[in-house]
Chains A and B, each alone.
Chain A
Amino acid sequence: MTQMIEAVMVLLVLTNLLLLGTSRLATCIRTVAIQGVALGTLPVLGHAHELSLRLVLLAVGSASLKGVVFPFLLFRAMREADVRHEIEPFVGYTASILIGIGSLAVSVWASSRITLPGPAVSSLVLPAALFTILVGLFVIVSRRKALMQVIGYLAMENGIYAFGVVLVGEIPMLVELGVLLDVFVAVLVMGIAIYHIRREYDHIDVDELDALKG
């Protein structure tokens, strides 16, 4: 099982790098969806010997939410706003990947300093989760399109999820549901906001929002 979890973690890291290196919004949405589905399997993989209905439900729920519902909403927002590419990000794609390598190194280093309450399933989980959170943050600050920022939030959520599920294992379902709900609302609100910004201003570039500054 450890092997499988490690494979998921490698996949997580690779998808993060893909997220940093691609300009096509559709690819980004799919990438985050793949992350979500892969992470959804984690509770099952991590506790394969003591499977409970609650775990399976959690896995199925989060996987379907992140793998089906969110992508659907995002694709719709994308179509409505009629944007396909992040055209001119604040930080170029090659530079983004380089920064990604840097933050991967920071994550690995940081996780070597963190002492966990219990034994981790794999020493890869912590760095991968931290890295995902950092990449999410980076995507939020370095991209222009509001849609990309939503995607960044989703990546961050994936990171937090990975952090929790495998490390603690016993995340109270309520907390997890709460987080999911937050993100769900966020995606909805952002989707609506994007649609309206687009209708008012003909674009969804957030950096032009400073025109609203007094």
Chain B
Amino acid sequence: MNLEGLVPFALALVLAPLLLGVINRTKAFFAGRRGAPLLQAYYDVAKLLRKGAVFSRTTTWVFRAGPILSLAAMLGGLALLPVGGFPAVVAFEGDFVLLAYLLGVARFFTVLAALDTGSAFEGMGASRDVTFSALAEPALLLGLAAVGREAGGLSLSGILPALTAATWLSAAPQIALVAAALLVVFLAENARVPVDDPDTHLELTMIHEVMILDHSGPDLGAILYASVLKLWILGGLLVGVALPVRTGTVLIDLASFLGGLFALAVLTGVIESTMARLRLVRIPQLLVGATTLSILALILVLR
């Protein structure tokens, strides 16, 4: 346990919903609207926590457990993420495997909760979600193997701080490839364009949103909060790899990390405003492509 890791942990708990606000503001800017307040996600969570709930008669305890287990998994994952200058709360060899599998836990129970409703649409979303995430997993784990070899570490708190500007200079193609792969994983896992469109409200075309149609009240609040934490975790991973600011001064490192993260949020907004969603049959190619980038990076690192 690194107690100083609790600082960025707490920071993430507070700031994560802001990422969603930034993304939405960016999209609003491109659409020529003023957009929802930056703090909208906070309002949403607060409102949902104060609400009652409606449950389908079909559902069982699995449906009610889903959001809680997802949120617990995300909190666990957050504890494994080192943030600019700070080590993670918990760091050990192979912690990123645990991180990847904690995301898996959240997904598994979200999917089960979706299937518990017996709705055709939620089954559809669940089916797509497991398909795409199964393909995103190798990209993530292989990409981390590549940067792990480059940095000579086996834990996130060892790898990410070791990726300095000097590493970038000597191994630019490798790290750029991994960063590209991680960007795809980030977009896919967080259900953003071009994989999924968080704005759509047509059940047939949704993936993540359709799985949580039947949740309401505090459960939906937990899901929303878990999803912004996921945005923070995978975004933090990407920023940690792609932004080599390691001055050793805690404040500068932290500020650059946060800057990078919010720049990533803006980038996500730009991508969502300028790109169309891919056809569903095309998404596997994108994810396999990301895996390929990771493998290519590994080949470059290995030789």
Check if A and B associate: yes
CB distance from B221 to the nearest CB of A (A): 37
Chain A residues contacting B177 (CB-CB under 8 Å) are 10
Chain A residues contacting B296 (CB-CB under 8 Å) are 10, 13-14, 104
Q: How far is the CA of A100 from the CA of B284 in the complex (A)?
A: 15
A98, A101, A123: residue with the most chain B Cβ atoms closer than 10 Å: A101
Beyond A97-B285, A108-B299, A124-B300, 9 additional contacts (C-beta under 8 Å) are A10-B173, A13-B296, A14-B296, A94-B285, A97-B289, A97-B292, A98-B288, A100-B292, A123-B303
Q: Tell me if B295 counts as interface (CB < 8 A to partner A).
A: yes
Task: Tell me the residues in window 258-303 of chain B with beta carbons closer than 8 Å to chain A beta carbons.
Answer: 284-285, 288-289, 291-293, 295-296, 299-300, 303
A7, A13, A98: residue with the most chain B Cβ atoms closer than 10 Å: A13
Chain A residues contacting B292 (CB-CB under 8 Å) are 17, 97, 100-101
Chain A residues contacting B303 (CB-CB under 8 Å) are 108, 123-124
Q: How far is the CA of A101 from the CA of B299 in the complex (A)?
A: 11
CB distance from A10 to the nearest CB of B (A): 5
A104 and B285 in contact, given A10-B177, A10-B300 (Cβ under 8 angstroms): no
Q: How far is the CA of A13 from the CA of B293 in the complex (A)?
A: 10
Task: Tell me the residues in window 187-227 of chain B with beta carbons closer than 8 Å to chain A beta carbons.
Answer: none
A101 and B295 in contact, given A6-B173, A10-B300, A123-B303 (Cβ under 8 angstroms): yes
B172, B284, B288, B300: residue with the most chain A Cβ atoms closer than 10 Å: B288
Q: How far is the CA of A94 from the CA of B286 in the complex (A)?
A: 9
A93 and B285 in contact, given A10-B300, A17-B292 (Cβ under 8 angstroms): yes
CB distance from A134 to the nearest CB of B (A): 15
Chain B residues at the A interface, C-beta cutoff of 8 Å: 172-173, 177, 284-285, 288-289, 291-293, 295-296, 299-300, 303
Q: Do B173 and A94 touch across chains, with their CB atoms under 8 A apart? A: no
Q: How far is the CA of A206 from the CA of B288 in the complex (A)?
A: 29
Chain A residues at the B interface, C-beta cutoff of 8 Å: 3, 6-7, 10, 13-14, 17, 21, 93-94, 97-98, 100-101, 104, 108, 123-124, 127
Q: Do A94 and B300 touch across chains, with their CB atoms under 8 A apart? A: no
A7, A10, A17: residue with the most chain B Cβ atoms closer than 10 Å: A10
Q: How far is the CA of A127 from the CA of B302 in the complex (A)?
A: 13
Q: How far is the CA of A124 from the CA of B288 in the complex (A)?
A: 22
Q: Which residue of B lies closest to A10 (CB)?
A: B173
Query: Shortest 10 CB-CB distances between A and B: which pairs?
Result: A10-B173, A97-B288, A94-B284, A21-B285, A94-B285, A123-B303, A93-B285, A94-B288, A17-B292, A101-B292
Q: Which residue of B lies closest to A127 (CB)?
A: B299
A7 and B295 in contact, given A93-B285, A94-B285, A97-B288 (Cβ under 8 angstroms): no
30 cross-chain CB contacts under 8 A: A6-B173, A10-B173, A10-B177, A10-B300, A13-B296, A14-B293, A14-B296, A17-B289, A17-B292, A21-B285, A21-B288, A93-B285, A94-B284, A94-B288, A97-B285, A97-B288, A97-B292, A98-B288, A100-B292, A101-B291, A101-B292, A104-B295, A104-B296, A104-B299, A108-B299, A108-B303, A123-B303, A124-B300, A124-B303, A127-B299
Q: Do B289 and A21 touch across chains, with their CB atoms under 8 A apart? A: yes
CB distance from A168 to the nearest CB of B (A): 21
Chain A residues contacting B299 (CB-CB under 8 Å) are 104, 108, 127
Q: Which residue of B lies closest to A97 (CB)?
A: B288
Q: How far is the CA of A94 from the CA of B131 in the complex (A)?
A: 13
CB distance from A90 to the nearest CB of B (A): 17
Chain B residues contacting A101 (CB-CB under 8 Å) are 291-292, 295
CB distance from A104 to the nearest CB of B (A): 7
Q: Which residue of A lies closest to B303 (CB)?
A: A123
Chain A residues contacting B293 (CB-CB under 8 Å) are 14
Chain A residues contacting B295 (CB-CB under 8 Å) are 101, 104
Chain A residues contacting B300 (CB-CB under 8 Å) are 10, 124
Chain A residues contacting B284 (CB-CB under 8 Å) are 94
Chain B residues contacting A104 (CB-CB under 8 Å) are 295-296, 299
Chain A residues contacting B173 (CB-CB under 8 Å) are 6-7, 10
Q: How far is the CA of A101 from the CA of B177 in the complex (A)?
A: 15
